[in-house]
Copies of this chain bind each other. A is one copy, B any other.
Amino acid sequence: MSTDHGPGPALRRNLVYLLKHAYLRMTEMTTNAVTPYGIEGRELGVLLVLAGREPASQQQAAQRLGIDRTTMVALLDALETKGLVSRHPHAEDRRRNVVSLTAAGDATLRQAIEANDDAEREFLARLSPAAAEQLRLSLQTIVTDPGAGRPAR
Contact = CB atoms under 8 A, between A and B. Distances in A.
B22 A52 contact: no
24 contacts: A3-B60, A3-B63, A7-B64, A7-B65, A12-B144, A14-B45, A14-B116, A15-B124, A16-B26, A16-B27, A17-B143, A18-B139, A19-B19, A19-B23, A21-B66, A21-B143, A22-B143, A25-B143, A122-B147, A131-B134, A134-B134, A134-B135, A135-B135, A135-B138
Contacts of A13: 136, 140
A10 interface: yes
A38 interface: no
Interface residues of A, number: 65
A44 to B, nearest CB: 8
Q: Report how many copies the assembly holds.
A: 2
A4 to B, nearest CB: 7
Contacts of A126: 141-142, 145-147
Nearest to A141: B126
